[in-house]
Chain A
Amino acid sequence: SQQGEEDPQALSIQEGENATMNCSYKTSINNLQWYRQNSGRGLVHLILIRSNEREKHSGRLRVTLDTSKKSSSLLITASRAADTASYFCATDANAGGTSYGKLTFGQGTILTVHP
């Protein structure tokens, strides 16, 4: 079963605008990760946020985590055409306190940034 559900399924914006993608999940987690996938390619890791963290930044990326609402968001600021890709959240479920690295992926958000 898919633990992570992403919203929206598709997002189309102009270059320079901000893009926000949301991820909801069902069970408690050790960490939540965001990945990017360019068309026909493998996934590239963006950010990992642990369950005891609330916000994390990496360049133009900002990730928030609300464990009480079981949700996370990924914000890309000042988007560029090169940001066009699919973005996935993946949860590392808390199985009795031990992380086994078994990531469960959402269905992804397709982001299109128009020049």
Chain B
Amino acid sequence: NAGVTQTPKFQVLKTGQSMTLQCAQDMNHEYMSWYRQDPGMGLRLIHYSVGAGITDQGEVPNGYNVSRSTTEDFPLRLLSAAPSQTSVYFCASSYSYRGYEQFFGPGTRLTVL
């Protein structure tokens, strides 16, 4: 199993550009989520999904969109990048939203100029 994969590993954008961060898992997990991690801070939840076709907002959803058309994939879209979105983004998955450990991808380091 590859686990949770994320692409790209690094990305530089200009203010106003849009892009999609890809996340895929091969564990048939029901639950997937996106976090951002800023220097010296823990992770903050952006969006999450409890199953294909179901998504909801986390703590910091503004400026981001998600969709979950399949169990495996959970892309994160930045609509119009801003410098405040410079961060490291982590995707995670879990067997179920009912109190299970989460498996994290390696992260995408995004810089917005």
List the interface of chain A (C-beta within 8 A of B). Answer: 1-2, 4, 30-31, 33, 35, 40-45, 48, 50, 88, 90, 92, 99-108
Q: How far is the CA of A107 from the CA of B94 in the complex (A)?
A: 22
Does B48 sit within 8 A of A, measured CB to CB? yes
Are A45 and B42 in contact (CB-based, < 8 A)? no
Interface of B with A (CB < 8 Å)? 4, 31, 33, 35, 40-45, 48, 50, 56, 58-59, 90, 92, 94, 96-107
Residues on A with beta carbons closer than 8 Å to the beta carbon of B31: 101
Q: What's the least CB distance linking B12 to chain A, in Å?
A: 17
Q: Is the CB of A2 within 8 A of B42?
A: yes
Residues of A within 8 A of B98 (CB): 99, 101
A residues in contact with B4, CB < 8 Å: 42
Question: Are B42 and A106 in contact (CB-based, < 8 A)?
Answer: yes
The answer on a CB contact under 8 Å between A100 and B50 is: yes
- Residues of chain A with a CB closer than 8 A to B50's CB: 100-101
Determine the residue in chain B with the shortest Cβ distance to A41: B106
Contact B43 A43 (CB under 8 A): yes
A45→B96 CA distance, assembly (Å): 15
Is B99 a contact of A88 with CB atoms below 8 Å? no
Q: Which chain B residue has the least Cβ–Cβ distance from A101?
A: B97
Chain A residues whose C-beta falls within 8 Å of the C-beta of B103 in the assembled complex: 45
Is B43 a contact partner of A30 (Cβ separation < 8 A)?
A: no
Which residues in A have their C-beta under 8 angstroms from that of B45?
102-104
CB-CB nearest in chain B for A40: B107
Which of B42, B44, B58, B99 sits near A30, CB closer than 8 Å? B99
Option from B41, B48, B101, B107 in Cβ contact (under 8 Å) with A102? B48
